[in-house]
Chains A and B, each alone.
Chain A
Amino acid sequence: MAEIILNTEKLSVGYGKRIILSGIDISAERGKILTLIGPNGAGKSTVLKTICRQLEPLGGAVYIGKNRLDELKVDTLAKSVSVLLTGRVKTEFMRCRDVVEMGRYPYTGKLGILSSDDRKKADEAMAIVGVAGLADCDFDSISDGQRQRVLLAGAICREPEILILDEPTTFLDIRYKLSLMTLLKRLVAEKNVAVIMSLHELELAQRVSDNILCIRENSPDRYGTPEEIFSGGYISRLYGVSESSFCEAYGSSELEKLEGKPEVFVIGGGGSGISVYRKLRRWGIPFTAGIIHENDIEYPVAAALAADVITERAFEPVSEANVRKAIEIMGSCRSVICAISHFGTMNDGCRRLLEEAKKLCILEKGET
């Protein structure tokens, strides 16, 4: 059992006197990542701002270690908690190095003069985040993503026990999103830091978090491991989208399906049909997919996008009944697209669909 470094008791948060979220009981452990997810405006940022004392709690309490948050001295708090909040910072004549070095604030003396040790730590932090090359650039002239990373370097060089990040992936491209997640994993493993953050990217939340708190309609809804949260269609309910739109296994999402009479029949399987399904969805053409095994890699996409999917039980050969059903639907379609080039024992039935399509002369050319 890891050491709990921050926990809340029946915490209520909000602005002024207006409570927007109450009954929050979370605990962040050293060496663990706690992620807050939930729809826009649910109050994730408000929670983060409250646990780093940017906002007053409107009820309940926050504890850091054994101490109540509101009894901590500001510099003790600044040393143990590093915060990276959203919001554009506008600076003037400030180099990135100056911004990172500001991370050493609680450790410097009355006039804020850095020791060589402080400088070394700032340099290290810049190297870890990959912004060493930006050190002498003006902070105001770099891109939003670079700014985000420079601020992160500043947060890291403070060497906190708790790192609070509010949507740290905003402005980052996919490469830096991934490297940020790797970096966070490294920080928790090597420095035993507790990370508390909010994320919009569910697939990232699913992959890096040790625990996830879901916030929905003014109350914490569920708290658990990614495995517990990403199951039973819970995520779709949390965000109020149709269940098939979000794939729990991959953490990926698809557009809402097009309803209507299928115009195209797609013979798919083994992942080859995914791009076809997405293309048809983009073009706004309702389609039927078949015959897909329930454990097929492309099943979630087909289920999300196709007006109708003909499925076969996992690990079973395609049954005669399903083939007949497919041929019947195919007959009412304008055309057929065959996405697979190879048929095996289990999907031999699909070969018959292809032959049937050729016979009906509705097979699309060039799509196989």
Chain B
Amino acid sequence: MRSQRVRIICGYSVLTALLIVLVVLNICAGSADISPSRLWNAVRSPESDRVAYKIITELRLPRTAAAIILGGALAVSGFLLQNFFANPIAGPYILGISSGAKLMVALLMVFSLSRGFAVSSFGMIFAAFIGSMASMALILLISGKVRRMSVLIVCGVMIGYICSSITELVVNLSDDSNIVNLHNWSMGSFSGIGRGDVLTAAAVVFPACICAFLLSKPMNAYQLGESYAASSGVHIRAFRASLIILSSVLSACVTAFAGPVSFVGVAVPHIIKSFFRTAKPIRILPACFLGGAIFCLLCDLITRTLFAPTELSISTVTAVFGAPVVIYMLLGREGRSVNG
């Protein structure tokens, strides 16, 4: 009991410290280097260093905030899906839910560009939500038919591929000057997210995460199986529906602003669970959010600085870190199922 408490306190302290360090690094590092002292001065008196202030508030801060909010949203979305499918390898990207959202957003963007009207960020989120729910419906349909979770995962990956290739096709067919932006977005990136977008994302992500947190009690019972949860007094249908909707909203929101971001949803909750040695949602759901934020901050930092001024796509970096974790988990699962 005590060791668990110590672990949780330690875990949250480490996560908070990492978050602060990475926020400062993300604001300071970039094509125009801003030293921490210059950052401090600029924030204290904006008049003294207008250039730095402008870079910080208009570019770096929104991007950093986006990485935090969307990264956290992805990790929470993944955690919800893992509970839903009772499978630690489930996640919005692996199950093709992000890709479904991506396809819908791309269709909407291309359509709006060709007709010459702009779509609000809420409109984008809505389109992404429709797309992710469509993918989710397909996945649920498949999950009713297959017993082996690995088969479901493979189906999810295939759905992801199909959606991605259609997206590529749509993006390349549209002959607009915005195609470069669209292409960047469809590969996944935190660049070009403005302050307004960040606020919109926050307005969607935070309430959704709070709702998810409020579901920790039934989620915990659900970890012991559906019939156990039912006999404990969980309204199974409503509960399952809320899990699906919340995880879809969260991953849709991420996709609408940053495009598909791979593996965060699987890798982060797993790392957090292993470190905290518990899967109790009430204890680790906030940690998952923090972990996702940290993971995305780190990866975004790398995309911007590794080959500066060229930017990598975010998924390239998250995959480098996330995919090995997933492979490791798959191996661990296989090993365990052989033993018992």
Q: Across the interface, name the chain A residue whose C-beta is closest to B3.
A: A136
B195 at the interface (CB under 8 A from A): no
Interface size of A by CB at 8 A reads 32
Q: Within 8 Å CB of B224, what residues of A?
A: 89, 91, 94, 99, 102
Contact (Cβ within 8 A) B221 A105: yes
How far is A302 from B110 in the complex, measured between Cα atoms in Å? 87
User: Using Cβ atoms and an 8 Å threshold, which residues of chain A touch B274?
Assistant: 93
Interface string of A251-270 (1 = CB under 8 A from B): 00000000000000000000
| Complex Cα spacing A82 to B233, Å | 11
Are B223 and A75 interface neighbours, CB within 8 A?
A: no
Contacts of B88 in A (CB 8 A): 92
A112 with B227: CB separation less than 8 A: no
- The CA-CA distance from A78 to B224 in the complex, in Å, is 15
Chain B min CB distance to A94 (Å)? 6
Task: Let me know if B165 is at the binding interface, CB within 8 A.
Answer: no
Q: Does B230 contact A (CB under 8 A)?
A: yes
Q: How far is the CB of B273 from chain A (nearest CB, A)?
A: 5
CB distance from B20 to the nearest CB of A (A): 27
A129 lies within 8 A of chain B by Cβ: no
CB pair A113–B282 under 8 Å, yes or no, is yes
Using Cβ atoms and an 8 Å threshold, which residues of chain B touch A82? 231
* Interface pair A75/B233, CB less than 8 Å apart: yes
Is the CB of A360 closer than 8 A to any CB of chain B?
A: no
A111 and B211 alpha carbons, distance in the complex (Å): 11
- Given A89-B228, A111-B282, A113-B282, A106:B223 Cβ within 8 A: no
In the complex, A21 has a CB within 8 A of chain B: no
The contact string, 1 if C-beta is below 8 Å from chain B, for chain A 82-102, is: 110101011111110111001
Instruction: Find chain B residues with CB under 8 A from A97 CB.
Output: 1
In this assembly, does B143 line the interface, its C-beta being within 8 Å of a C-beta of chain A?
no
Rounded to whole angstroms, the CA-CA distance of A83 and B226 in the bound complex is 13
Contact mask B190-225 → A, CB, 8 Å, 1/0? 000000000000000000000000101100110111
Smallest distance from the beta carbon of B270 to chain A beta carbons, Å? Answer: 9
A123 to chain B, nearest CB (A): 10
B216-A92 in contact (CB<8A): no
Decide if A62 is an interface residue (CB 8 Å cutoff).
Answer: no
Interface residues on B, range: 20 to 34
**Residue ID in chain B nearest A88 by CB atoms:** B225
Give B337's nearest chain A residue, CB to CB.
Answer: A90
Measured CB to CB, the closest approach of chain A to B334, in angstroms, equals 14
Q: Which residue of B lies closest to A112 (CB)?
A: B217
Tell me, yes or no, whether A54 is within 8 Å of chain B by CB: yes
Q: Does B183 have its Cβ within 8 Å of any Cβ on chain A?
A: no
Q: Tell me which residues from 96 to 143 in chain A have a Cβ below 8 Å from any Cβ of chain B.
A: 97-99, 102, 105-106, 108, 110-113, 140
Q: Is A323 an interface residue (CB 8 A)?
A: no
A77 close to B233 (CB less than 8 A): yes
**Complex: A98 Cα to B1 Cα, angstroms:** 10
Q: Are B232 and A94 touching (Cβ within 8 A)?
A: no
Indicate whether A363 reaches chain B with its CB closer than 8 angstroms. no
Contacts of B233 in A (CB 8 A): 74-75, 77-79, 105-106
* Interface check A305, CB cutoff 8 A: no
Shortest A90–chain B CB gap in Å is 7
Q: Are A52 and B231 in contact (CB under 8 A)?
A: yes
Asked if A81 lies at the interface with its beta carbon under 8 angstroms from chain B, I say yes
The interface residues of chain A lying within 8 Å CB-to-CB of B43 are: none
Residue of A nearest to B235 (CB): A74
Bound-state CA distance A362–B335 (Å) is 60
B268 nearest CB across to chain A (Å) = 15
Question: Shortest distance in angstroms between B326's beta carbon and chain A's nearest beta carbon?
Answer: 15
Question: Which residue of the partner chain B has the closest CB to A109?
Answer: B217
| A residues in contact (CB < 8 Å) with B | 52-54, 74-75, 77-79, 81-83, 85, 87, 89-95, 97-99, 102, 105-106, 108, 110-113, 140
**7 tightest A-B CB contacts, nearest first:** A112-B217, A78-B233, A105-B232, A93-B279, A75-B233, A83-B231, A74-B233
Can you give 18 A-B contacts (C-beta < 8 A)? A53-B230, A54-B230, A79-B233, A83-B231, A87-B227, A89-B228, A91-B279, A92-B223, A92-B273, A93-B273, A93-B278, A94-B224, A102-B220, A102-B224, A105-B233, A111-B217, A112-B216, A112-B220
Known A105-B221, A111-B282; further 19 A-B contacts with Cβ < 8 A: A52-B231, A54-B227, A54-B231, A77-B233, A78-B233, A82-B231, A93-B273, A93-B277, A93-B278, A93-B279, A94-B279, A95-B278, A102-B220, A102-B224, A105-B233, A111-B216, A112-B216, A112-B282, A113-B282
